Amino acid sequence: MLKISELHAYYGKSHILHGVEMSVNAGEIVSLLGRNGSGRSTLAKSIVGQVEWSGVIEWNSQSLATFKPFQIARLGVGYVPESREIFPNLTVQQNLSLGIQKRSLVSTFAQWSFEDIYTMFPRLKEREFVPAGVLSGGEQQMLTLSRTLMGNPSLIIIDEPTEGLAPKIVELVKQNLLLLRDKGLAILLIEQKLTIALDISNRVLVMGHGKIVFEGSAESLKLNESIRKEWLEV
């Protein structure tokens, strides 16, 4: 589904990504790990067209080089940013409505409804007509993910979804990511927490200094103490 090769990305004259190679397939969770500043978020923003890049990013064998962010979204690529970026003065329902795309503009992947979202996150149903700005951090994270799902993506890129969340909410996020994977979605999970990544990932990538320095199974990363010490542990 998603194939990246020789990817270089820049902020002005700053060269952030240096020849990244990776892929994400349907029905799998690929976790991208690394310390702050390693280039993980820049990779996500490159895929969705928010930063300058060169190389190859293909989605279903189609190059994304000339596409604008809204066009990439219409191809079925969903992005859940670390900053969440909810609209605080709009209600939960209004925020969800902003994620809806015409069926003719997106892939024929499973269509999400308000009912589906509220079944997955009952707390959002309880807060349906509440301004999003008064939601807790965990509720805002649920809302951001749900708004992305309303666009019916077949790939979701999720940047630090458990940052600052209580353990109970982290577990809820984890279980729902597994649910989405089982529905056939491709998921690129950007995380710092080894625990959730190792628990749910089909494959794990480690990034350092703008390059992929490790790729393998969760179990192989658990056994690779040198990679963990050099690129992940503080």
C-alpha–C-alpha distance, residues 194 and 217, integer Å = 13
Q: CA 188 → CA 16, 104, 142, distances in Å? A: 19, 25, 17
Residues 125-172 pLDDT 10s:
999 999 999 999 889 999 999 999 999 999 999 999 888 888 888 898
**Residue range(s) defining the domain that contains residue 195:** 2-231
Q: Are 39 and 17 in contact (CB under 8 A)?
A: yes
At residue 104, the pLDDT reads: 46
At residue 189, the pLDDT reads: 97
Residues of the chain with pLDDT under 50: 104, 106
As for how many domains the chain has, the answer is 1
Q: CA 44 → CA 9, 20, 67, 138, distances in Å? A: 11, 12, 15, 22
Crossing angle, helix 167-182 and helix 137-149, to 10 degrees?
A: 10
CATH number at residue 198: 3.40.50.300
C-alpha–C-alpha distance, residues 125 and 115, integer Å = 9
At residue 165, the pLDDT reads: 83
> What tokens does 4 get?
């990246």
pTM of structure: 0.93
Q: Under DSSP, is residue 104 helix (H, G, I), strand (E, B) or coil?
A: helix
The greatest distance separating any two alpha carbons of the chain, rounded to the nearest whole angstrom, comes to 50
